[in-house]
Amino acid sequence: MSVTAAGAVGAALDRVEGRAKVTGEARYAYEYRHDEVAYAVIVPSTIAKGAVRSVDATAALALPGVHEVLWHGNAPRLHEVSDGELEVFQSDRVAYRGQIVAAVVADSYETARQAERLVRVEYAPEPHDVLLRADHPDLYTPEKVNPNYPAVSTDGDFDDAFANAPVVVDCTYETPAEHNNPMEPHAALAVWHEDGGVTLYDSNQGVVNVKNTVARAFGLEPDQVRVISPHVGGGFGSKGTPRPHVIVAIMAAQALGRPVKLAVTRQQMFAVTGYRTPTIQRMRLGADRDGRLIAICHDAIVQSSTIREFAEQAAVPSRMMYAAPNRRTTHRLARLDVPTPSWMRAPGETPGMYALESAMDELAIACGIDPIELRVRNDPEVDPESGHPFSTRNLVACLREGAERFGWPARDPTPGVRWDGRWLVGTGVAASTYPARWRPSSARASYEPGERHTYVVQIAAADIGTGARTALTQIAADALEAPVEQVEVQIGDSSLPPAFLAGGSMGNSSWGAAVVKACRELRARRAEEGDETPLSVEVDTEDEVAAATAEPLSKHGFGAQFVEARVDVDTGEVRIPRALGVFAVGRVINPKTARSQLIGGMTMGIGMALHEESLIDLEFGDYLNHDLAGYHVPTNADIEDVEAVWLDEDDPHINPMGAKGIGEIGIVGTAAAVGNAIYHATGIRVRELPIGPSRLISALPRGNR
């Protein structure tokens, strides 16, 4: 699709790397070729807690083609590691089942896998504890929750206000552990060079982060490490920080003096590449009879491992979402013998808004008020937490627009009365929110007379399947006042100007701002120097980000999710024939890739509501259903009509593009909308996810269709 100059932003441009991807020309980490490459396979711990007493590699090393078995008894010491997950082979301790205790390196992958089974690991096991419980004796309040919020907030007097509220809701919601499962598993190819540097072809969400972490771990200067990741097949947060296999690949390559490839298998991903913590969330809402909130309390319980404190900020969205003079939020954490949880799409908001938006539905029913009207009545004038005005807050407009499009006004609120054969039918609504932030990044823009791509824009950004490369091409074209065909954007290489990672829905905001600045400066220089002079400018956005962050404004995207649910009363099967998301996310750079992000998030939310659940095995202490046969994500057959639309929203305070992040807001609120629709269909309120047949079947009515 051709786009005229200065009109690229807002156009539904096809992905610039689309052809390379569908023809197989686009290379992913494990596909890079290298002479003399060797293959590493990790040996996972078979105990959940204790020590590795010894590793007997004799039988493994006796196989032809096996070169090395690494473990804590022979591995080199790492320099500086701040993430306990990365301290691979640094001690005899085992912190969770599946943790890497050894690695086999061989000439072929097949040989390495065979040898992995011949490695004899002797353990000194200790009793383990892997179950999160609301009455766990070790629960504590962390100092901060992610990324840097106070763990507890209080305003007014919640206890007194709640005790005197005419209408109250007091419910506990539980969400299970969930695993990210990007289509491309984590993989790395490590190549050491004669000058003592290392090149890493790696699947990640940010090359700069990986480069700096690797440099510190191996005692290298940052510029001795180069990370190359032009194409990444999804991450959803699990590739936001380097994972232990990266350390293993680099160590193995060093030990062998050969390039080493290491792919984490799907099964191993359930232990070593992160997951969403299970949550137990008590919600208390107190309101007057016409639904005006008087008191909100959100108490979240989450887990972490013994080797790293990861404190998911599940109660944080309840601080800014609705007006109530008395509010309290708390987080408590248990450190268990489990893998360390990590980021999974909209960490914090996803489980937290499930609880809040389910409780709001329960409050609407308790007050006899339409759930949309309840949210409208409690829409705050200013951010209740900071007291700052919102830069833009169009939640009410999203709810109204969605109600209109979805056919909400005709809805009869009575639950459990709409039959279609043996199906009960209902609809539900929930709100979405996600912070709109950005971080300093740098970018270089160059002009070369006579080149096919007249302009080259370089930034160490990541496209994890989001369409970031395409969006940045559009942003650059407009800032240069050039057609998109003349602009080539280069990303995914740590030798490019350093930039923030693809996380927290901050990628495009952070990178786009740097690209705009570089391109505008280049255009100004070109005006002075004329067409014949090659030019290059490099900028960073430290000052701009500092100024934007200091503004006394609360900046968030908002949305409203509408879902229709059908429940088969004989089997408990739930179908979602319709889902509609209406979002207010500032300016949309590319409607085609934006829609994909939003409906992708909503689809993941439907998976969370109905399918996704990592089951911990109490006896052995690991996640049992550790593959896509046992861990269910939605297939095409599960997803019917899912649509996302957005309002025209102009927010000049967000960043130079006026665009709020869209990678995560799509999942926020979806699961609550599904649960609310299931309640409306059946009259059954399930407060534990996922809402599968086993949680519905015994409560469903019989024979009254």
Which residues would be at the binding site for ligand MOS (CB under 6 A)? Answer: 205, 236-237, 240, 343-345, 347, 503-504, 664
Buried b (16+ CB within 10 A) or exposed e, 160-188: ebbeebebbbebbbbbbbbbbbbebbbbb
Alpha carbon separation from 635 to 268, 631, 693 (Å, rounded): 22, 12, 17
CB-nearer residue toward ligand MOS: 341 or 621: 341
The minimum distance between CB 438 and ligand MOS, in angstroms, equals: 13
Pick between residue 139 and residue 315 the one whose CB is nearest to ligand MOS: 315
What amino acid positions are annotated as catalytic residues?
664
Q: Shortest gap between Cβ of 315 and ligand MOS (angstroms)?
A: 18
Tokens 């057609």 belong to residue: 483
Non-local (6+) Cβ contacts of 328 within 8 A are 152, 153, 154, 155, 158, 296, 297, 298
CB of 66 to ligand MOS, least distance (A): 37
Report which secondary-structure segment, H or E, holds 40.
Answer: strand 38-44
**Closer residue to ligand MOS (CB): 501 or 567:** 501
**DSSP-assigned states of every residue in 295-340:** EEEEEEEEEEESS------TTGGGGTSS--SEEEEEEEEEEESSPP
Neighbours of 1 (CB within 10 A): 8
Angle at alpha carbon of residue 502, lines to 500 and 505, rounded to 5°: 105
Residue 279 beta carbon to ligand MOS: minimum distance, rounded to whole angstroms: 15
State the amino acid at position 660 in one-letter form: K
Considering the complex, state which of residue 344 and residue 353 has its C-beta at the smaller distance from ligand MOS: 344
Q: Residue 606 Cβ, how far from ligand MOS at the closest point, in Å?
A: 18
- Of 385, 382, 377, 343, the C-alpha closest to 667 is 343
Q: Which is nearer to ligand MOS, 416 or 503 (CB)?
A: 503
- How far is the C-alpha of 632 from the C-alpha of 445, rounded, in Å? 44
Q: Which is nearer to ligand MOS, 347 or 497 (CB)?
A: 347
Distance of closest approach, residue 365 Cβ to ligand MOS, in angstroms: 32
Cβ closer to ligand MOS: 259 or 507?
Answer: 507
Rounded Cα distance between 520 and 515, Å, is 8
Residue 599: which residues within 8 A CB-CB, separation 6 or more?
A: 581, 642, 643, 644, 666
Judge whether 441 and 510 are in contact, CB under 8 Å: yes
Q: Which is nearer to ligand MOS, 111 or 203 (CB)?
A: 203
Q: Cα(234)–Cα(227) distance, rounded to whole angstroms? A: 17
Give phi and psi for 343, each to the nearest 5.
-75, 135
Q: Which residue is nearest to ligand MOS (CB)?
A: 237
Minimal distance, residue 663 CB to ligand MOS, in Å = 7
State the minimum distance, in angstroms, from the CB of residue 254 to ligand MOS.
29
Nearest-approach distance from CB 275 to ligand MOS, in angstroms = 11
Report residue 361 as tokens: 């539905």
Report the relative pairing of strands 167-175 and 153-155 from DSSP bridges: unpaired
Residue 157 CA from chain centroid, whole number:
34
Q: What whole-number distance in Å separates Cα of residue 110 and Cα of residue 94?
A: 27
φ, ψ of residue 95 to 5 degrees: the values are -105, -20
Closest CA to 292 of 360, 390, 194: 360
Q: Which is nearer to ligand MOS, 329 or 342 (CB)?
A: 342
Token representation of residue 35:
């002479």
